[in-house]
Structure 1
Amino acid sequence: MLADLTAGALSDARQREILRPLAQVEAAATDAPPALDALSALAPADRVKIIAEVKRASPSRGDLADIPDPAQLAVSYERGGASAISVLTEGRKFKGSLDDLVNVRESVGIPVLRKDFISIPYQVFEARAAGADLALLIVAALDTKTLTELYGLITDLGMTALVETHSADELERALDLGAGLIGVNARNLSTFELDRDLFGRLAPQIPSGVIRVAESAVLAPADVAHYREAGADVVLIGEALVTNDPILTLGEFLAV
């Protein structure tokens, strides 16, 4: 599944590149206002921090929410206490778009993450041109050379990479990059199986000074508490927020 999602996102990016060449996107990325400091926004605190996600659908759950106005939802997230907003821009399975990201960035004052299956520099430049402050890199989808090059480009453009891992080996590769923001996803993106305790097993291997993000398997405050007790500084939440009252639900999660 991960290979299919990455290949599909790459194909779609190549189609966009025909209409908007790399040089044009590079120029737009260079001209964009500076990225916000996501590491400061997500730095460890007395309470857990939340990256709230704009998420219409997923391959594992199908349609989740219509979300006709992603910007309005993002504003609700910000009012509810989210520290950053994640915007799914993959169109085939998650029904997102770069337009969603642009609209969200224009509407909130907190960092915005482009969450997609990034595998080429064009997608990184797109993210910055659209106003992203963070970009997702999935270790399982990238060879070491590509991972290193994309991480360097994200950093050079002033953004922060959220480096996502699913195993001890992938975590080691993320640490080798010098990543300051590392996610552990409970969902195996190859099989889509969930392992709620994966974060707890890997977190002790993440050194102090690196921000720990727990991803997936969050439906209730107890799930946030589970991750917080295991050492999570930040929890990324999508489904539970788009299928419930976002402000009320955020309040319950942040009270953990």
Structure 2
Amino acid sequence: MDSVIPLRTTTATAAATATAATSAAATVRPQFSFQLLANLRPKKPAFPLSVPTTIFTSHRGRVLPRCSPLRAQEDGSVVVSESSIPEGEALKIKEWEVERFQDEIAASQGIKIRRRPTTGPPLHYVGPFEFRMQNEGNTPCNILEEIIWYKDKEVSQMKEKKPLILLKKLLSGAPPTRDFLGALKASYSRTGLPALIAEVKKASPSRGVLREDFNPVEIAKAYEKGGAACLSVLTDQKYFQGSFENLEAIRNAGVECPLLCKEFVIEAWQIYYARVKGADAILLIAAVLPNLDIQYMIKICKLLGLTALVEVHDETEMDRVLGIEGVELIGINNRDLGTFKVDISNTKKLLEGERGEKIREKGIIVVGESGLFTPADIGYVQEAGVKAVLVGESLVKQEDPTKGISGLFGKDISC
């Protein structure tokens, strides 16, 4: 297959796309490919292909392509058509091309989770190249991708009801943020054990309902009484039976522990929404977000006074995150995204050698996540280098979560 660049781009975009495509060459991307139509090979293009091929027009403050789409002729030449494309369809074309470019950037960084199902080109997409599906591409490869696809639709609907301009107005009425990172450091200093981020979670896709008599406020207060430094509150409704109402209720109930909004973030809008609902920290998942998105969202968090917990699962994600400016808190999830198998040795593996040295040099706090049930588990990840742990299932299932914390650490950490 020929290596090609979609022609409906500016020169700068084309160059960037070419770079991204080259970087991603080693990554298998079976979802789509570009192929020549009917083996057309232009003998002599009507103009050099390196020049911009789109004429732009302004529409409500946005730049849209208009007129002059490229068309392949029977003799193999490429010419500019005099026909015009409706502005609405032109916008769809540009958005589709941006998505393809973003897909290649994600692939070059080893991101396997797709933002949404793959689709074919818009109706008026023209040129000497054809977009061809290599496989169905509309089935999620794992549960995280399924969640992200649903979240993409959910967030779009939520944004229509509460646009960003409204959220920014509501920020003035939001409760002040608490120092999430500071609370973890203080707990570690006080107890000599990893600080506990106790998770308020009713259910999970892999385990089903964890607690039938689920009262988020009572559970949060029990965690705080037991010595939790911070709390994590699931806000995803479809897959975890959580809600932003739970987060808001816990904050309004007088719980003093800083709160992490455990959400699947794909847009900065969600960060503002979490802040309005009382969050002190937000989760950013490296398996979902490209580097620039993570860096941008960290800046948004700092602007709003929030702490960003950046979650990684493997060496590739850890290396990416360590190269991003502003990262202060990294979570290592020991759960395999595809199989849901948990292996706490993953934490030790990701903190060995040069990675561990870099983490210490940068002063990054590491959080161990998933598969922690006993004092031995806590000791193992602490020896590996973590200074905090995020625990949900082994605590929320306890009849008395306060006593559950003592059992997890092998001692009372509330004093």
TM-score range, shorter chain: over 0.9
Match for residue 195 of structure 2 among 49, 59, 62: 49
Report the Cα distance in structure 2 between the residues aligned to 1:188 and 1:30, rounded to whole angstroms. 40
Report the Cα distance in structure 1 between the residues aligned to 2:271 and 2:171, rounded to whole angstroms. 9
C-alpha displacement at 1:143, in angstroms? 1.4
Say if 1:26 and 1:7 are closer, same or farther in 2 by CA, change over 3 A.
Answer: farther
The 8 Å contact of residues 373 and 408 in structure 2, kept in 1 or not, is answered as no
Asked if residue 254 in structure 1 is aligned to residue 396 in structure 2, the reply is no
The 8 Å contact of residues 56 and 67 in structure 1, kept in 2 or not, is answered as no
CA deviation map 1:22-64 (0-9, x unaligned):
2112222344232111111111431221100011111111111
Counting aligned pairs with the same residue, the percent is 38
SS in 1 for 2:309: strand
The 8 Å contact of residues 374 and 409 in structure 2, kept in 1 or not, is answered as no
1:215 aligns to what?
A: 369
Report the Cα distance in structure 2 between the residues aligned to 1:26 and 1:254, rounded to whole angstroms. 41
CA deviation map 1:115-140 (0-9, x unaligned):
01101011100110011000000000
2:149 aligns to what?
A: 7
- Structure 1: any 5+ residue segments left out of the alignment? none
SS in 2 for 1:104: helix
Report the Cα distance in structure 1 between the residues aligned to 2:248 and 2:320, rounded to whole angstroms. 31
Match for residue 69 of structure 1 among 198, 215, 220: 215
The 8 Å contact of residues 283 and 308 in structure 2, kept in 1 or not, is answered as yes
2:158 aligns to what?
A: 16
1:148 aligns to what?
A: 295
The 5 A counterparts of 1:166-177 are 166-177=313-324
Which stretch shifts more, 17-26 or 154-163?
17-26
The 8 Å contact of residues 86 and 113 in structure 1, kept in 2 or not, is answered as yes
Bigger RCO of structures 1 and 2 (CA < 8 A, at least 6 apart): 1
The 8 Å contact of residues 3 and 190 in structure 1, kept in 2 or not, is answered as no
The 8 Å contact of residues 67 and 73 in structure 1, kept in 2 or not, is answered as no
C-alpha displacement at 1:95, in angstroms? 0.6
Say if 1:25 and 1:194 are closer, same or farther in 2 by CA, change over 3 A.
Answer: same
Asked if residue 34 in structure 1 is aligned to residue 181 in structure 2, the reply is no
CA deviation map 1:224-250 (0-9, x unaligned):
222122222111000011111200011
CA RMSD of aligned residues (A): 1.5
Structure exhibiting the larger radius of gyration computed from Cα positions: 2
Report the Cα distance in structure 2 between the residues aligned to 1:30 and 1:13, rounded to whole angstroms. 22
2:310 is aligned with what amino acid? Answer: V
Match for residue 243 of structure 2 among 97, 103, 108: 97
SS in 2 for 1:119: coil
Report the Cα distance in structure 1 between the residues aligned to 2:213 and 2:195, rounded to whole angstroms. 23
Asked if residue 230 in structure 1 is aligned to residue 384 in structure 2, the reply is yes
Report the Cα distance in structure 1 between the residues aligned to 2:198 and 2:284, rounded to whole angstroms. 18
Report the Cα distance in structure 1 between the residues aligned to 2:299 and 2:263, rounded to whole angstroms. 18
1:184 aligns to what?
A: 332
The 8 Å contact of residues 113 and 134 in structure 1, kept in 2 or not, is answered as yes
Which stretch shifts more, 97-106 or 216-225?
216-225
SS in 1 for 2:323: helix
C-alpha displacement at 1:18, in angstroms? 2.1
Deviating beyond 6 angstroms after TM superposition, the runs of 4 or more aligned structure 1 residues are none
SS in 2 for 1:94: coil
SS in 1 for 2:350: helix
Report the Cα distance in structure 2 between the residues aligned to 1:210 and 1:224, rounded to whole angstroms. 19
Q: How many residues align?
A: 256
The 5 A counterparts of 1:103-118 are 103-107=249-253, 108-118=255-265
Match for residue 195 of structure 1 among 343, 348, 368: 343
Scaled by the length of structure 1, what TM-score is found? 0.94
CA deviation map 1:200-247 (0-9, x unaligned):
111232422111100000122222222122222111000011111200
The 8 Å contact of residues 260 and 280 in structure 2, kept in 1 or not, is answered as yes
Report the Cα distance in structure 2 between the residues aligned to 1:190 and 1:142, rounded to whole angstroms. 17
2:271 aligns to what?
A: 124
Report the Cα distance in structure 2 between the residues aligned to 1:66 and 1:22, rounded to whole angstroms. 35
1:18 is aligned with what amino acid? Answer: E
